[in-house]
């Protein structure tokens, strides 16, 4: 039999998660702590996320580039606030062979510093704007102690968009387009709802004026940050001398944004959707969307295999695999494909052929349905959409049930102890946020973009409340 998952998702979540990613053949560990191997099945999912996001970026006029992975120390040091936020995470190259380098080279934790030296050379006039560039690459961040495959790794893959505008108004208008792109990808590919909002001052990206983030709720109650958008104002423009002559011939500093989605989304998707049988994948990102398992007997083997190939041809708009491996029972194959998360299994044997049908089995809920072969081209797409919708609904219910509106500090502490995301009015001050973190282990996640009229006092410091915010323990 296939090596089953032995831990329970509702029990030892960490062990369950580790077993799923390994037994579903998604990742492998290496001798470098926090750096994993993306095996073909997981990398295929990332390619799908990357390609669909990139397609949407191109419609927004964003072009792809590639900058070096190495950043000279003097370049990294130009924007003080940004550098302060990243220095603890930087991995440095100090030698080439046995020769010590004259200047240390940072392995990019992010690319603002090296990209913006070029931007300063390229941008001269208002006619050069907007400049909308993006790169798909890897970055290295070394600070944290407990790496978790996909969710928290020292090297990860992402997009980093870096756009430049002539005015603050133009730059800020981009927010809805970028966050809308990420929400589209997360909702319609990954079947994941999010809590979108503005980060607190304390949690804002180093060097940004403000950060808009998409936060997700994990099955054990912790929150985790997904894609984000940072409005950088003119901070980097002033640090890197990114200036242009406006239409009146006056010199102006540019306005900038940055944004990203990372391979962390694979981990969130795996954790939210999968079950005690193994991986559950949304159909639109699954490497194998349909697996056909023939039920073989010596006297009908050739006919059944031929019919299976006909069915595969009928469904060629999907990623289909006919599992005709010998030496494995149908039951063993069913179990393996459940472990690997194939959204739809089609069983076809001699008795099915007599009825001119196949049996469709959904991975998400195990439902079986006999379907006439002539109807497969209609039934399969409908079933795929139903699986996606069901996964999204279940994920949304998880998120909704994890939110707890609280009025007092005592209610807040109870909600956090019960593994909830606490939603409360708040003063918005960093000192108050530090107090909350020290007392409960929770941090501010973000503040909903659509704020209600806020009145009353902050439950922690008793100062006038200014916003409604979400707090939770997080990765």
Residue 125: predicted pLDDT: 98
**259: β partners:** 161, 229
Residue 77: predicted pLDDT: 82
Question: Tens digits of per-residue pLDDT, 435-466?
Answer: 999 999 999 999 999 999 999 999 999 999 99
The pair of structure tokens assigned to 279 is 């991986």
Mean pLDDT of residues grouped by 10 in the chain (475 residues)?
Answer: 85 96 96 96 98 98 98 85 80 96 95 96 98 98 88 96 98 98 98 98 93 97 97 96 97 98 98 98 98 96 97 98 96 97 98 97 98 97 98 98 97 97 97 96 97 95 97 95
User: By three-state DSSP, how is residue 440 classified?
Assistant: helix
Q: Is the dihedral of CA 327, 333, 336, 341 positive or negative?
A: positive
Residue 145: predicted pLDDT: 77
Residue 1: predicted pLDDT: 45
Residue 84: predicted pLDDT: 78
User: What is d(CA 3, CA 407) in angstroms, rounded to the nearest whole number?
Assistant: 48
pTM above 0.85, yes or no: yes
Question: Tens digits of per-residue pLDDT, 263-310?
Answer: 999 999 999 999 999 999 999 999 999 999 999 999 999 999 999 999
Q: Would you give the distance in Å from CA 189 to the centre of its chain?
A: 11
CB 224 within 8 A of CB 215: yes
Q: Which residues contact 146 (CB under 8 A, 6 or more apart)?
A: 152
Number of neighbouring beta carbons within 10 Å of residue 348 = 23
Residue 2: predicted pLDDT: 57
**Burial grade of 167 (CB within 10 A; 0-12, 13-18, 19 or more):** middle
Residue 87: predicted pLDDT: 82
Residue 76: predicted pLDDT: 86
Phi, psi of 196 (to 5 degrees): -95, 140
């Amino acid at each position: 039999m296939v090596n089953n998952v032995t831990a329970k998702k509702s029990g030892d979540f960490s062990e369950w998660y580790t077993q799923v990613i390994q037994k579903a053949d998604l990742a492998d560990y290496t001798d470098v702590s926090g750096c994993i191997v993306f095996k073909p099945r997981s990398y295929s999912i990332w390619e799908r996320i990357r390609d669909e996001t990139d397609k949407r970026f191109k419609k927004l006029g964003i072009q792809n580039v590639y900058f070096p992975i190495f950043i000279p120390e003097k370049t990294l040091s130009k924007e003080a606030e940004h550098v302060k936020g990243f220095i603890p995470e930087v991995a440095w190259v100090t030698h080439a062979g046995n020769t010590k380098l004259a200047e240390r080279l940072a392995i990019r934790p992010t690319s603002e510093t090296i990209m913006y030296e070029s931007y300063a050379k390229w941008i001269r006039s208002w006619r050069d704007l907007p400049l909308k560039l993006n790169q798909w690459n890897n970055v290295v961040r070394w600070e944290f102690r407990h790496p978790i495959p996909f969710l928290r790794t020292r090297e990860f893959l992402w997009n980093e968009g870096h756009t430049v505008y002539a005015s603050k108004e133009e730059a800020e208008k981009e927010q809805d387009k970028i966050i809308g792109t990420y929400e589209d990808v997360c909702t319609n590919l990954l079947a994941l709802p999010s809590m979108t909002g503005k980060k607190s001052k304390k949690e804002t990206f180093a060097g940004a004026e403000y950060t808009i983030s998409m936060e997700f709720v994990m099955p054990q109650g912790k929150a985790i940050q997904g894609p984000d958008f940072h409005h950088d104002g003119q901070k980097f423009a002033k640090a890197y001398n990114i200036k242009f002559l406006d239409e009146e011939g006056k010199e102006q500093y540019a306005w900038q944004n940055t944004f990203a989605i990372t391979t962390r989304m694979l981990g969130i998707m795996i954790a939210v959707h999968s079950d005690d049988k193994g991986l559950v994948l949304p159909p639109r990102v699954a490497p194998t969307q349909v697996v056909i398992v023939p039920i073989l007997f010596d006297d009908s083997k050739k006919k059944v295999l031929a019919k299976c190939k006909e069915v595969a041809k009928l469904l060629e708009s999907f990623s289909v695999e006919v599992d005709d491996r010998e030496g494995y029972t149908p039951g063993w194959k069913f179990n393996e494909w459940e472990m690997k998360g194939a959204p739809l299994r089609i069983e076809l044997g001699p008795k099915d052929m007599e009825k001119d049908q196949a049996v469709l089995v959904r991975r998400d809920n195990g439902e079986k349905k006999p379907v006439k072969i002539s109807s497969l081209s209609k039934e399969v797409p409908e079933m795929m959409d139903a699986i996606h919708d069901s996964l999204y609904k279940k994920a949304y219910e998880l998120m909704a049930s994890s939110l707890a509106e609280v009025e007092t500090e005592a209610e807040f502490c109870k909600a956090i102890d019960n593994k909830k995301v606490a939603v409360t009015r708040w003063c918005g001050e960093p000192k108050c946020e530090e107090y909350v973190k020290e007392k409960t282990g929770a941090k501010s996640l973000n503040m909903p973009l659509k704020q209600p009229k806020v009145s009353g006092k902050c439950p922690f410091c008793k100062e006038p409340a200014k916003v409604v915010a979400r707090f939770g323990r997080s990765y």
